[in-house]
A and B are shown apart, each in its own frame.
Chain A
Amino acid sequence: MTQNMLNVTDLRVDFSTPSGTLRAVDGVTLSLAEGETYAIVGESGSGKSVFSRTLINLLAGNGTRTGTIEIGGRDIDTLSKSESKHFFGVDVAMVFQDPMTSLNPVKRIDAQLTEAMRFHLSISKSEAKERAINLLKQVHIPSPEQRMRQYPHELSGGMRQRVVIAMALACEPRLLIADEPTTALDVTVQKSILDLLDELRIERKMSMILVTHDLGVARGRADRVGVMYAGRLMEVGRTEELFAEMRHPYTQALLQSIPNPAQRSHTRLQPIPGRPPNLLDPPTGCAFAARCRHARPDCLESKPALDDDHGNVDGHRWACFHPVGTPDGDAALRTNLDAGENAAGLSMAEVVGELV
């Protein structure tokens, strides 16, 4: 088996805030094979952004982490200071969400592109410029020589994001982390950017972590998907498998709350009642239990682990005591429906006037 591009083992990230310690990432373990795209899906507060930034060593000052991160076989904790300067941005690179704030508005495009290259690769100015033009061509920006002399605000949102991608690829990373790369863009532009990422990934044999809140994006673009909630992975697996047979109630609830264009108009959506837990004072037991239609008393007592003993295909795992589509899970749902509420006291009726 080829070496994994990324190995994360039991990653925990805490932030010390004036109101106490906030655990943003609570024990995430995952691996990414070479050339694979792994989508991390979650809503705001799920910890997915903190996770992705931790991978590229962009942890805020008040954050601490435990656990190991191995990129391309190297444990990033073992990197010396000089090594890490030329590791992040080179072996692993990141594409951020908002192209307007990830580009320096007062610097021309050529300066921004060549800057990183010259720092990491020690090449001459003219060589960097050549490479930059080539990169712009690879990301399909027309008239690259002209664009080089322009400022970010002179480019459209889609083009700016292409420049950001070009910058990320400048030093030929083997792992690309894309944190909501298309959220700020129009849907047709979104498609072209995601197409571009796919194309480049295959061409350069890169691996990619795609962080998104959009299940549709994950479904359409990833080899494997990990659904995150309250800092933990709730369900992971190969994309087709996961969407065909979802097991975790959260994944199911998420899918049911999104309008599906294949359904008829005015199809009633199923919102997820309640609100995400307070990470400053997390609940004992499963973080989703308070909002889960399958929640039974054991869910309130201990956290289910993302384990592997379901005899399933290709690493499809879920962290749930009463998963969807299993006899146990069905029984739990039945019991709750009969009682009118789940083990945490959440009413099972779809409440219109739900305070969230």
Chain B
Amino acid sequence: MTRQVYRLGTGIPSYGEKPIEDGNPQYGLGQPADLPGRQSPPWLRGSPGETRPLTASNEAAQPIGVLDAAGQQAVTPTRLRAGWAGPVLLVVALGVLGQAWLGYRARITGSFSTNLWYLTLCLIFIPSAALVTSRRINDRVRVWFTLYMSLALLATRFVLYPTQFVYHDELINYRVLLSIANSGHLFTRNSLLPAAADYPGMEIATITIHQLTGLSLHSSGIIVLLTVRVIMTLALIRIIQRISKKLTVGCLAALIYATNPQYLLFNSTFAYQSVALPLSFFGVYVFVMRSRSRQLIAIAPAAAVVAAVAVTHHLTSIAVVVVLWAWYLFTLITKRHVSQLLLFAAASTLLVATRLWLVRSDVIPYISGITRNSIATIIAFLSGKSNHKFFTDPTGAHAPAWQVALSIASVLIITSTLVPSLWLAITKRRLLSAAVMVLFTIAALYPIIPVGHLTGAVSEIADRSSGFVFAGLGYVIAAWWFRDFPFHRHGKRGSFTPRRHTWLLIPGLSICFVGGTIIGSGPDWLHGPGAYLVSAENRSVDQLALQAASWEGQNLPPNSRVLTDRVNALLAEVYGNQHVLTSLADGINTNSLSTLLLAPPAPADADVACQANVQYLIADKRLTWSLPHVGAYIDAGEYPNGNRTLPPPPSALAKFNSVPGAERIFDNGATRIYDLEGLPCARKR
């Protein structure tokens, strides 16, 4: 009896999987090969005179990395048919210009227009999405436009902050970079996040470009970010293409991936996961490309990439190992062997485990701290003690109604497409390849992202998982959208088989893009420059704070023990070359020590400073202006216990004006620096 084989495109086995015994290859979701295929919707069919229909990609028919008989790439007609492709190029560029103008205006007026920010982002995303999903362009151009869009979205970050890194994680990683530049060696500890120094992959790439080209460290960092964005976009497209046999599915998956909450902001920052995530995609791509070889050495290139990931980011490298073992597990379940997969998974595990073991003293406390905090937050939520408010930042500022509506709409749209996609997978589960099952499993994790937002601390972790979840989600939804067979096995439409309306695709993607960005990119003030705000990451890095940090670097002994607020701590570490006291690196009691900056004057102040051996105290009197925008002035667990409802009094930040032995050695109107080495108890030590 002939077994029905479902496929989406050409008949090329993928991922090194052996064809099934009846000789028919099977992979992914697709059309029963022995059934007459349902006619594609009109918009999917090529128009008269069009050289290449959208659903039967010529490029998809060409295995990656394989040349034709003449040793040349099989060249396909590349002439564009869409007359509006040129204007799209321009409109996307205008979107970037609009972002630059917003940054310029915000610096002049102090006010950043969030509405225009989203509007200019849509100028980049919507025309690109429309063009990439259009049937009027060929596959190669489709890929270039997908890449152009992803780079343009990344460029929006650079035109808002063109000369320096200003976000929390960026500054921590920049500190690691400066340490390498100054010492020539890796793994120099920093007190802000010791684990960051243990994973210097991004900084190594940056310092190499800096040394080979003479570019500044910041410019070199931008080049690294651009490079890994290219890697991420193209690797995702190629991996999905390998599975689905359609480049169009790969490009749509990349568009869907761009709607993930961390895409625009967090995974575009100069932080280690921004490099590790693309490299992990690249590692899988390289393995897939070489997995047909029977030689053991064939996995060496992919293992080298995983080794690079292993020294770039802890959680990403762990996630890669989990994905590889899940993949292997599914090959056992499906009984379809993937050549070299076991060896690759074992080698990756060895590399990642070795790295983790070497840096366990830094990484384990860091990860366990996050885990403890998350569990405590979940318990507080379940017991009704959580004070987390949806769409509200810690100062009480609420997101506009349209942002709330779009966020919810994006979750609903993704869920409403994910459910039928997963249902499709369940009904066709015996015909899915192991790789596809892995992607479906990853996609099925999507609910943790919106559910994670029920609590404050967990939402950050949930959002960070989106870098992986949306890779699966991109494939699942794109494959479902481009399916070219009756959804129901009997060709009837059922509860989970809604029609696919072309006109719904672009608005749906746009809503998901804006909604996802709202969910993952935090409150409005986080998006760009503007007037100073209290404890607000980028918005707290202003001329006054930078001037103080620069002075510290020139006048204070390096690595002096400094106590200050969250943002001035970052600047003191990066530009002041100081050792900022933190609970993570120094084991200090944050609650007790934070009283030096946040509590009214008390007789015990000098003793508290002495016990922690604080040499310099940096007090920014602007902390009294408002509650902290990120929820803490200094760190979690700071004074007072429980919820703060008012900013600290001015006397809290000026108490050392009158403490005997303390010297006030710097004053720029906002920031005062106190030298506490003269405190009587300090002298005794």
Bind each other: no
A interface list, Cβ under 8 A from B:
none
B interface list, Cβ under 8 A from A:
none
